[in-house]
Chain A
Amino acid sequence: MNVSELRALVPRVLGVLVRRGADFATAEDAVQEALIAALDRAGDPPDDAQAWLVTVAWRKYLDLVRSDASRRTREAVVDLEPEGAPAAATDETLQLYFLCAHPDLTPSSAIALTLRAVGGLTTRQIATAYLVPERTMAQRISRAKRVVAAAGVDRPGDVVTVMRVLYLVFNEGYSGDVDLAAEAIRLTRQLVALVDDPEVHGLLALMLLHHARRAGRTRADGGIVPLAEQDRSRWDRALIQEGVTILQAALAHDRLGEYQAQAAIAALHADAPRVEETDWVQIVEWYDELLGITDTPIIRLNRAVAVGEADGAPAGLAALAQVDDDLPRRDAVAAHLHERNGDLELAASLYASAARKAPDIHERDHQIRQAARVHEQLRSGRW
């Protein structure tokens, strides 16, 4: 049994404890302790890891309850009722997803709780991935559980809030020893098996289609390689094929949502053998569909790029005129469109401005390189 198989057992083990009458917050702590004990004896795996985890987690749970005098009453109840009402394991895991994406939780709390209770990551791994001290992350998780307990487990999140949390985890990428993008994909695959909703399939397809191109999108130092310059032989064709297949099956249900539409755009990019063969007209049509579902400034911004490719830079600039000036990355898109339109002076100053406003270091470095490239072009043009 490898570590990821072990971690996949975490929501099931938690479900068993809750079914036996354990309260969610304490049971979750107990399962985390059992998981850490299991990871510690990785060289000596038990024959039945789930049974082992249940036994150890239950013992830890009883220890935790006994150590808390205020819970003596509950302890009596627990000892009397070692087996609760039977429930399907899949329903329990789905309920757990919903609970961890409770609408009263802030995004960061929902993410942390989901990664621990559903994902089976340790507090330390989550803290490392999000670059905060372990003690801070431990408190964030405890508070999240208190919020959930206070708000009532009868009003959990739904699949929409769960998808939002998983997509946030996916976008975090990877740092430390945990690949959060891969983790988000694993949890979304699990969710696909639990709930019948084409949008969940759309989300999985979107993640796979982005993930498949990660090697091409990222320089060795973590920097950005723009779409047009990516080495497409480094894209993972098998993963792209899987994403496309999942997306097509989802679209066949004729219940379009934002993740399916975004996945369709990603699929059209992934499908082009060379950037020149990109079907920009269809991409613009998908952006229009997407705007019909959710009209956000970022979608309008990305649509302006696609319009610029499909109908020429002036049309792209006209589309850009409808995008709010304050939007991060607007200057980057404006620079690109003005460069294509032949206005290098303006493009250079917009790239520099995009670098100043960049929200992350790779984006900043990328825009500085773009500005330097256009300035160089301007100089060599004059000489």
Chain B
Amino acid sequence: MAKYLFLKHYRGAPPMATDVPMSEWAPDDVEAHIQFMGDFADRLVETGEFVDGQALAPDGMWVRHDGAGRPPVTDGPFAETKDLIAGWMVVDVDTEDRAIELAGELSAAPGPDGEPILEWIEVRPFLATPPTPTDVV
């Protein structure tokens, strides 16, 4: 059993089938996409594999400590070149193959005219597998 993070990107992923921003899709296509994402999460709850999922606003900033007694420095919004995360989903699955299968399904979310957007999903394993007790180094 292992947890995987699925990352959806606004920017920074390899190019996908459509580069039309969602805000310019037909309203029904937007609804269908949102419905798909909700159904996808519900289905993973049903299979006992869902852990968490959240969407992120594209706006954001860099924050850094600026010395004691001073307010933190902020910088932003993010530069256009920055890899930008749109949201994530965490799944708890038996195998890496299963994680890849699910990410593949997520990638087929409907876009304009109901065509799959074939979005690239970044799949990252958690560093959380507990160590099997061994007597080696």
Report which A residues bind B (CB closer than 8 A). Answer: 106-109, 111-112, 130-133, 135-137, 139-141, 143, 171-173, 210, 214, 217, 224, 226-227, 265-266, 269, 301-302, 305, 329, 332-333, 335-336, 358-364
Q: Within the complex, what minimum Cβ distance (angstroms) separates A161 from chain B?
A: 15
Q: Is the CB of A139 within 8 A of B48?
A: yes
Q: Which of chain B's residues 87-129 have a Cβ closer than 8 Å to chain A?
A: 92-94, 125, 127-129
Chain A CB within 8 A of B81 CB: no
Q: A131 touches which one: B50, B51, B94, B136 (CB < 8 A)?
A: B51
Q: Is the CB of A137 within 8 A of B48?
A: yes
Residues of B within 8 A of A265 (CB): 135
Q: Is the CB of A109 within 8 A of B135?
A: no
- Beyond the given pairs A139-B48, A332-B137, 13 more chain A to chain B contacts, judged by CB atoms under 8 angstroms and listed by A's residue number, are A108-B92, A130-B1, A132-B48, A133-B45, A137-B48, A139-B45, A139-B47, A140-B49, A143-B48, A171-B130, A227-B135, A305-B137, A364-B127
- Per-residue interface assignment for chain B, residues 24 to 53, with 1 indicating a CB less than 8 Å from any chain A CB and 0 otherwise: 000000000000000000001111111110
Residues of B within 8 A of A132 (CB): 48, 50-51, 92
Q: Is the CB of B131 within 8 A of A107?
A: no
Chain A CB within 8 A of B134 CB: yes
Residues of B within 8 A of A111 (CB): 1
Q: Is the CB of B127 within 8 A of A227?
A: no
Residues of B within 8 A of A112 (CB): 48
Chain A CB within 8 A of B69 CB: no
Q: Is the CB of B127 within 8 A of A302?
A: no
Chain A CB within 8 A of B132 CB: yes
Query: Of all chain B residues, which has the CB nearest A365?
Result: B127
Q: Is the CB of A172 within 8 A of B130?
A: yes
Residues of B within 8 A of A171 (CB): 130, 132-133
Bound state CA distance, A329 and B3, in angstroms?
19
Residue with the greatest number of chain A CB neighbours at <10 A, chosen from B46, B48, B51: B48
Residues of A within 8 A of B129 (CB): 359-360
Q: A269 touches which one: B45, B94, B135 (CB < 8 A)?
A: B135
Q: Is the CB of A210 within 8 A of B133?
A: yes
Residues of A within 8 A of B128 (CB): 131, 360-361
Query: Of all chain B residues, which has the CB nearest A364?
Result: B127
Residue with the greatest number of chain A CB neighbours at <10 A, chosen from B47, B52, B130: B130
Residues of A within 8 A of B137 (CB): 226-227, 305, 332-333, 335-336
Q: Is the CB of B127 within 8 A of A360?
A: yes
Bound state CA distance, A374 and B44, in angstroms?
45
14 residue pairs from A and B, CB less than 8 Å apart? A107-B1, A108-B92, A109-B48, A133-B51, A139-B45, A143-B47, A171-B130, A173-B131, A224-B131, A227-B137, A269-B135, A302-B136, A305-B136, A358-B127
Bound state CA distance, A198 and B130, in angstroms?
28
Q: Is the CB of B127 within 8 A of A266?
A: no
Q: Is the CB of B51 within 8 A of A361?
A: no
Q: Within the complex, what minimum Cβ distance (angstroms) separates B51 from chain A?
A: 5
Bound state CA distance, A113 and B93, in angstroms?
16
Residues of A within 8 A of B49 (CB): 136, 140
Q: Is the CB of B130 within 8 A of A360?
A: yes
Bound state CA distance, A109 and B1, in angstroms?
10
Given A107-B1, A227-B135, A360-B128, decide whether A139 and B51 contact each other with a Cβ distance below 8 A. no
Q: Is the CB of B50 within 8 A of A266?
A: no
Q: Within the complex, what minimum Cβ distance (angstroms) separates B134 from chain A?
A: 6
Q: Is the CB of B133 within 8 A of A217?
A: yes
Q: Is the CB of A359 within 8 A of B127?
A: yes
Q: Within the complex, what minimum Cβ distance (angstroms) separates A235 from chain B?
A: 12
Bound state CA distance, A335 and B52, in angstroms?
37
Residues of A within 8 A of B48 (CB): 108-109, 112, 132, 136-137, 139-141, 143
Residues of B within 8 A of A302 (CB): 134-136
Bound state CA distance, A172 and B2, in angstroms?
11
Query: Of all chain A residues, which has the CB nearest B132?
Result: A171
Q: Is the CB of B94 within 8 A of A106?
A: yes
Residues of B within 8 A of A141 (CB): 48
Bound state CA distance, A172 and B50, in angstroms?
19
The 3 closest A-B pairs by CB, nearest first: A140-B48, A336-B137, A210-B133
Q: Is the CB of A136 within 8 A of B135?
A: no
Residue with the greatest number of chain A CB neighbours at <10 A, chosen from B46, B49, B128, B136: B136
Residue with the greatest number of chain A CB neighbours at <10 A, chosen from B1, B50, B52: B1
Q: Is the CB of A136 within 8 A of B51?
A: yes
Residues of B within 8 A of A131 (CB): 3, 51, 92, 128
Query: Of all chain B residues, which has the CB nearest A171?
Result: B132
Residues of A within 8 A of B52 (CB): 133
Bound state CA distance, A305 and B136, in angstroms?
7
Residues of B within 8 A of A224 (CB): 131
Bound state CA distance, A106 and B94, in angstroms?
7
